[in-house]
Structure 1
Amino acid sequence: MKRPLSALLAMLIPVCAAAKEAPSTVHPWTPAGVSSDLFESHPAFDPRTGDLYFVRSSKEFKGWRILTSHCDGRQWSTPVDAPFAAPGAEADPWFTPDGRSIYFISTRATGRQNSKDLDIWRADRNADGSWQKPVRLPEPVNSGEAEWFPRMAPDGWLYFGSNRAGGLGKNDIWRAKETSPGQWTVENAGPAINTAGDEYEPLPSPDGKRLIVMADGGLYQSHWDGHRWTKKEKLGPEVNVNGSEIGAAFSPSGKSLLFARDTGEPESGEFFVWQPQGAEAWPPMCGQAKTSGAARRK
């Protein structure tokens, strides 16, 4: 039975209005005491203490340092150097899920800010919660070129970026596995992930079924089909606003993604959280943010 045109329009208008009013799945996360007019990026939450570790650098994204902040029940504390800090550039902190170890990159071997000297390091925890002296991972994990963004998948493969020789492009995603104590095997992540351009940062999901990759143009996603990674696809425009998206971190559930974006002046790099499956109580909230959802810079 045909409906009058006016009736059809009446049915369509609410649908169109609802589509326009669909809630955003990406929101700023600018906790007071942490967010500043400098560049904040690469967040990681200590599974044991809840402390926030992150990278702060200049507005031009230079002079990387790993800082840490503690929630005292009211607000995030003034960020200070990580307890294992050393001279040079340091960035990309990542905790093992049990909180026993932290991986990061550093030029501490030379003490210089030159990113060419970046290597992957790991610090393990003592029984009292303090950190042992960091240890540089051996070759072939580290090379004569730069390594960055070490992230362990649930199956034991350590994913990272590097501009070492033997890749498919300028910078590639690689992965390494410790086959016996101190002995590692390393392989390229392959053409589904790497291109002739630049791929820098790999982030396996907590269940190992997805891989977020920071590459030319922003953030991409690949899926594990049971045998290999599928060809990565760029995330949508709500996430990739200007191609500067960087330093992603999954929530423990894998439902949320926290990342940084260069917003330009005056704030420079800021955190954003993507929750495509709906809101969850993450990132961890502190003080007033427990009721407001996120602290906003005034």
Structure 2
Amino acid sequence: MLLLNILFGCKSTYSDVHYQKIENITIGNGLTFHPDKELILISKPTDKKSKDGKPIYRIFQLEFKNNSWCCETEVPFSSKFTDYHPVFSPDGKWVYFNSDRPIPASNKKCEKINIWRVQYNDGNWDEPEYLFEINTKNHESYPTIAKDGTLYFNSDRAGGKGSMDIYKSEYVNGKFTKPKLVEELNSKDSENDLFVDPQERFMILNRYLFDAKEIELFISYNENGIWSEPKPISSINKTGVWELTPTLSPDGRYLFMEVNGEIQIYPFKKI
């Protein structure tokens, strides 16, 4: 535990009890921890339906009180459209998320998924921001943020290797730079949910393997700015099981993922 805290550069707010209690929460496409408050955000489908009959997803926040995660409430920045996969930035000041809500100057639901972000300040939420520098007419989704503000995400825009591919945009002088394909992380298959270590030393992602019709977790390491070829995490992947939305606890001790709407937890040191 001490070694992991040194690696992640933090003194954890969370204990094993915090993590164990999360296993009882039902989610759908998203779990994220505030780095130094007893606060998590999740997303899950609601009983509301879109015009095409699909469940509408919303984002909810929970606090840790009386030895349990409780007080689940929908976040103030919700829309009547689908919002999901919230991700706190490492400093806890921003939440990035996926949404098909209308883009600025439009009232029409988007046919594609876009990335938005909203500022969080001591319990208060600002108005969500559409990321003009990142979004296109294609899908942009599953953001993950490094400590220096670098944004990684996936997209099916032209120029990739497969269905969905991973891109990177640096944050310079308050703006995101033009996204670049991260060649080493991508394949002919579909790179989907991803989590980057705040110091960009490694990345965990899942990949839909078209031939096998499987979704499995992979890990890649960053060596002097070059990402290694992603390798399957054989200690976790199971045949016939889709391992979704990987994320790490703020202290780096545990890997969380979603399987069939339930949260599974693995000690990261065993990966």
Shorter-normalised TM range: 0.7 to 0.9
On the 8 A contact 1:161/1:174 being kept in 2, the answer is yes
What's the C-alpha RMSD, in Å, of the aligned pairs? 2.7
Shift of 1:241: 4.8
Give 2:73's aligned residue: 80
Partners of 1:181 and 1:68 lie apart in 2 by 27
**Structure showing greater Rg:** 1
Shift of 1:155: 4.2
Partners of 2:23 and 2:178 lie apart in 1 by 43
Give 2:131's aligned residue: 137
Match of 2:142, as an amino acid? F
Consecutive unaligned residues of structure 2, counting only runs of 5 or more, are: 1-18, 48-52, 209-214
- The 5-angstrom pairing of residues 1-298 of structure 1 reads 31=22, 34-35=25-26, 39-57=27-45, 62-109=55-102, 116-126=111-121, 128-139=122-133, 141-190=134-183, 192-216=184-208, 217-262=215-260, 269-277=261-269
Alpha carbons of 1:41 and 1:61: their partners in 2 closer, same or farther (altered >3 Å)? farther
Consecutive unaligned residues of structure 1, counting only runs of 5 or more, are: 1-27, 263-268, 279-298
User: What is the TM-score of this pair, normalised by structure 1?
Assistant: 0.72
Match of 1:137, as an amino acid? L
Find the residue that maps to 2:229 and give its secondary structure.
coil
User: What is the TM-score of this pair, normalised by structure 2?
Assistant: 0.78
On the 8 A contact 1:83/1:131 being kept in 2, the answer is yes
Alpha carbons of 1:166 and 1:69: their partners in 2 closer, same or farther (altered >3 Å)? same
On the 8 A contact 1:250/1:256 being kept in 2, the answer is yes
- How many pairs does the alignment contain? 238
On the 8 A contact 2:196/2:202 being kept in 1, the answer is yes
Match of 2:120, as an amino acid? R
**Which of structures 1 and 2 has the larger relative contact order (alpha carbons within 8 angstroms, sep 6+)?**
1
Task: Output one character per residue of 1:4-27: Cα deviation in whole Å (capped at 9) or x when no partner.
Answer: xxxxxxxxxxxxxxxxxxxxxxxx
Percent identity between the two aligned chains: 24
Give 1:7's aligned residue: none
Find the residue that maps to 1:97 and give its secondary structure.
coil
Shift of 1:270: 0.5
